[in-house]
Amino acid sequence: PLILGIESTCDETGVALVRGRELLGDVTATSMDEYARYGGIIPEIASRAHLESFLPTLDAALERAEVDLGEVDAIAVSAGPGLVGSLTVGITAAKALAVSLGKPIYGVNHVIGHLAVDELVTGPLPERFIGLIVSGGHSNLLSIGDIATDVVELGGTLDDAAGEAFDKVGRLLGLPYPGGPHVDRLAREGDPGAIRFPRGLAAAKDRERHRYDFSFSGLKTAVARYIESLQDAGREVPQADVCAGFSEAVNDSLTAKAVAACQAADCSTLVVGGGFSANSRLRELAAQRCQEAGIELRIPPLRYCTDNGAQIAALGAAAVRAGVEPSPLDFAPDSSMPLDTIVAGSPTAP
């Protein structure tokens, strides 16, 4: 079946067409360039940008895929989590298309889509695997069977998400918004061993209770204190070394716990997804540690790490394949959609 996927959780308007596990075409428009001067996303501007971009993005995606709208068998759209105004634009457009074409609609979980997209790149997902989601809003470890019906949360961040922590450190260093990619770039020029920052939840009592959880806010505070102490002393801040030490601490925790989760569950595949999976040190360290542990690592190429329509079409296709019921036409955007709700209105199998 031919699935049309629509993404509009935040600032990207994404539309993609997927047949089975084949990506026929996808186009993404973003309003991110507008936010650098505000230092963050302005929801009102993002909603308006979605309104303006939707139809041109849909047309471009259909053209690239060389299909007609009438050939579409089902529509998938991000139901959440995300900004309510942004979500509403995509969901309203998707419902209008579903009604006018007389096709089913699946309101899918954007975050799970970050992992589903890898099917389009690497091929079918294994029967069971460990998922690591790292993005601006999430840092979670999941045990996954069928991606459309069986997702169990093993742990998550107790405070900041990995991307959020990078953005905050970027701000501390006076880098443009969003800081994540800038901190990553500077980190590559620095010495990761020059400054040793603390790993979150490393204390003995936390190691057991929070085996698969993360905490990055203490680390961020340590970075802030370090920067302040140098500034107070009138000394220059070694930006590259700060970024490298900070990046090492975040990625050490993420990769160590992901590998531990695979080993504890006897899973031989780790799938990583989300905007932060573009991070170069994460990709390097995950590859190294998975190889040492005999785990197959799957991380989508950079363009499928950031928010896109392909991740939504991929999860919609997986839902159709698994025989999941479509969402009721009156499903609402869910700004805090939980990770175990994969399709809006559809209960997740235990």
Out of 307, 308, 316, 346, the residue judged to bind Fe ion by CB under 5 A: 307
Element (H, E) at 79: strand 74-80
- CA–CA distance, 165 with 217 (Å, rounded to integer): 7
Of 138, 220, 283, 289, the one binding ligand ATP by CB under 6 A:
138
Residue 135 near Fe ion by CB under 5 A: yes
167 labelled binding-site residue: yes
Q: Which does 167 bind (CB under 5 to 8 A by kind): Mg ion, ligand ATP, Fe ion, none?
A: ligand ATP
CA-to-CA distance for 334 and 107, rounded, in angstroms? 10
The answer to whether 143 is a known ligand-binding residue is no
- Of residues 131, 137, 245, 300, which one binds ligand ATP by CB under 6 A? 137
User: H-helix or E-strand containing 25?
Assistant: strand 22-30
Amino acid at position 140, single letter: N
Which residues inside 40-79 make contact with ligand ATP, applying CB under 6 A?
none
Binding residue (CB under 5 A) for Mg ion from 118, 164, 184, 307: 307
246 binds ligand ATP (CB under 6 A): no
Q: Does 278 bind ligand ATP (CB under 6 A)?
A: yes
Cβ-count burial 146-163 (b if 16+ within 10 Å, e if not): bbbbbbeebbbbbbbbbb
* Residue placing its CB nearer to ligand ATP in the complex, 135 or 327: 135
* Residue 307 annotated as binding site: yes
Per the structure block, which two tokens stand in for 211? 């085996």
Q: Does 10 bind Mg ion (CB under 5 A)?
A: yes
Q: Which does 143 bind (CB under 5 to 8 A by kind): ligand ATP, Fe ion, Mg ion, none?
A: none
Of 170 and 218, the one with the shorter C-beta distance to ligand ATP is: 170
From candidates 5, 90, 178, 190, binder to ligand ATP by CB under 6 A: 178
Which tokens belong to 332?
């609402």
How many residues sit in the footprint of Fe ion (CB under 5 A)? 2
Q: Does 136 bind ligand ATP (CB under 6 A)?
A: yes
Question: Does 275 contact ligand ATP by CB under 6 A?
Answer: yes
Report CA-CA distances (Å) from 104 to 63, 158, 317, 319, 328: 22, 37, 12, 12, 9
User: According to CB under 6 A, which residues from 293 to 332 bind ligand ATP?
Assistant: 306-307
Q: Which residue has the tokens 């190691």?
A: 207
Kindly tell me which residue out of 190, 218, 274, 326 binds ligand ATP, with binding defined by CB under 6 A. 274
218 is in an annotated binding site: no
User: Exposure pattern of 12-23 as b/e (b: 16+ CB <10 Å)?
Assistant: bbbbbbbbebeb
Residues 191-210 contacting Mg ion, CB under 5 A: none
Q: Where are the alpha helices (DSSP H) in the chain?
A: 43-65, 84-101, 110-116, 118-122, 162-172, 180-189, 204-209, 217-232, 239-264, 280-293, 309-322
**Residue entry with tokens 């091929």:** 123
Residues that bind Mg ion (CB under 5 A): 10, 307
Residues that bind Fe ion (CB under 5 A): 135, 307
